[in-house]
Structure 1
Amino acid sequence: MAGSRGFERPRVARSARRNGQSVSARHTLALAGTAHALHDGYTDLIYVLLPVWQTEFALGYGMLAALRGLYAGVMALLQLPSGWLAEKIDGRIILAAGTLLAAAGYALAGVTGSLVGLSAALALSGAGSSTQHPIASAAVSRAYGDSARGPLGTYNFTGDLGKAAIPALTSLLLTLMPWRGALWLMAVLGAAVAAAILLLMPPVVRANPSRQVQKRAGRDRGGFWVLFAIGVLDTGVRMGLLTFLPFILAEKGASLPMVGIALAMVFLGGAAGKFFCGWLGSRVGVLMTVLATEGGTAACIVGVLVLPLVPLFILLPLLGLMLNGTSSVLYGTVPELTPADKAERAFALFYTGTIGSGAISPIFYGVLGDWLGAYWATAATAVVALSIYPLAFALASRLADGRKAA
């Protein structure tokens, strides 16, 4: 009996440690997801404010586009430095500081009376938001270890919740108060999230480089760049299609309100795709999931081109699911192709590439649309989606775990 009790104690201790690690991981995911929702909401909040600023500062469309580009450009450019900094300092501290900086940018936008001040405020907020993607992604990856793909899909999904909630909340506030007061409230919200991250988020686990090298011995490091290429092409397909979708819907007889509803259906399907496909990838593997989502995307794009308006509306949520589903699988694979102590840097590089593709690809497809017309340019996005197939097979051959690859 005594021997039995002695045998049970280590098992109980190990179980307690596992339970503690699970609770810590869930806290990390919850706060990383909250940060993702806030920062992505801040990014898309600009769209709500552009008409307000046009009236307030007498701005033309070109300057309004430049303001949006300033925020996104600063955020993209500073992601790599943010990732490098987080390798030296606890990522929780950097993430909290970045969140507070992003909130301060919107607070400054609420008090400025000039275009220069507004530009500085957006640059400041974009700089703060540059910390979120690389650090929060790496925190979730380290918290869950080899089981991170599904939680990273959940983390990816929370960004879409923020994109829907924060602009909608601000739109409501704009009906109740001046726009400056609404921005100050959004800044207070950001400061509260920053405090929660600093006080409640577990420290970001530091990786053991020697253990990671041993664990991933023999892995082809070129796999990350194959993954990067897939991410760039996948983002380009999504942004290219969304560029032309409103015009195709209008040509099929959709009114302006119907176009808005159609886009909402695509975005809702996209949010579901981010949540569902991250977990699907952890069960059936990267290869099968990417083949399904990219093939499904190409098929849905053909449906967009050939279906009448009513069946097309029915197809739109599925289109959104396929368009966005690949991204969660890709984000969840970054840790598998990167030394654990370089996760922040890898996520920063990956997000910089996808954000850059999102900025550049609409220009490319727009020029193609001017040359060939909207329908043929949209068809080109389906071809690009299918061109990801060989890259998916190449990526599968570079993943260490064949079960996850296929």
Structure 2
Amino acid sequence: MSSDPWGRVDETGTVYVRTAEGEKVVGSWQAGSPEEALAYFERKYEGLVVEIGLLEKRVRTTDLSAKDAQAAIEHIRQQVEEHHAVGDLAALSARLDKLTETVESRREERKAQKAKQADEARAAKEALVTEAEELAQSEQWRAAGERLRALVDTWKGLPRLDRKSDDELWHRFSHARSAFSKRRKAHFAALDAQREEARKTKEKLVAEAEALSNSTDWGATAARYRELMADWKAAGRAQREHEDELWNRFRGAQDVFFAARGEVFAERDAEQTENLKLKEELAAEAEKLVPVSDLKAARAAFRSLNERWEAIGHVPRDARPKVEGRMHAVERAIQEAEEAEWRRTNPEARARAAGLTGQLQDAVDKLQKQIDAARAAGNDAKADKLAKELEGRQALLDQALKGLQEFGG
């Protein structure tokens, strides 16, 4: 009989392994010595040790799934429990129990990680849905459209959720995109209709502008072009392929009209500038008539100058008040001289002036006699009072005599 600390072979060749529950039969050995029998089953034990070590390493260093790891553990455990090896089988069982705990812990970690990833993916997809639903109401058509396309790419890169949740979120996400596309399509359809209406309106404006381009009714036509420009701006933009062509025709028609008007106005301005020089010369000649010394000659000269003035024509509008004011000033001076002459030669006015002078002279003479009488009587107070009254009457008399002299004495 042969034995070691973990097993023995009896005289019949039966091999035993020692365990905490007592000896267990490992097998029977008839082919050789007991030592060879123990060595054989000890090698089987070492094989189990190596196999467990390799499994421990795989669990620690690879992404071996918990299911596969547990299956491998159970396979080795079955071999240990069948007692087909000699050695510390309890230690192997303990290592397998610990490895089972590790695999279970890893299973829970992965389950928690998977749950966390699912929660993160759900939160991310809910955020995408919320943003998509907000974008569905946007009128920033280009920016919102590009952002929605980017959200689709982001969605595709996220993990799938459970079927129900994923389908519900995708339905909301897809509905938001469809709503935006529908609104955008309706917007651009309406915009196309507006632009088509603008094109028709602008074609009418262009036709009228081109019809007016050869007009010589400068004021009325220029005013109409201003109205057409206001109508053009109010019409809105036509389609891009029509807008530039219509605008070029519209502006071209106006340019033809305003170029022609500009040439006419340039000629008119040159003519009016020359007229201004002539009228300034006439104004200077008229101003030499003032002060009026010979009314008849001044009147005749001014009449002649005025006839020449009227024959000259228009001057620039901004220069008109000044040059016309000079002629009006000379005209007023001649009129004032005529009025003075009329007053001087008017018989009725002369008679009224002579009568007033005579009355004042009589009053002065009467007051002088009264003063002399009062002083002769010694009544100086009365004489002084009458003297003051005499001063006032004498002043009026002097003024009346001066007026009489204007009538030729």
Q: Smaller-chain TM-score range?
A: under 0.3
Structure with bigger gyration radius: 2
**TM-score normalised according to structure 2 size:** 0.17
Structure with the higher strand share, 1 or 2: 2
- With normalisation by structure 1, the TM-score equals 0.17
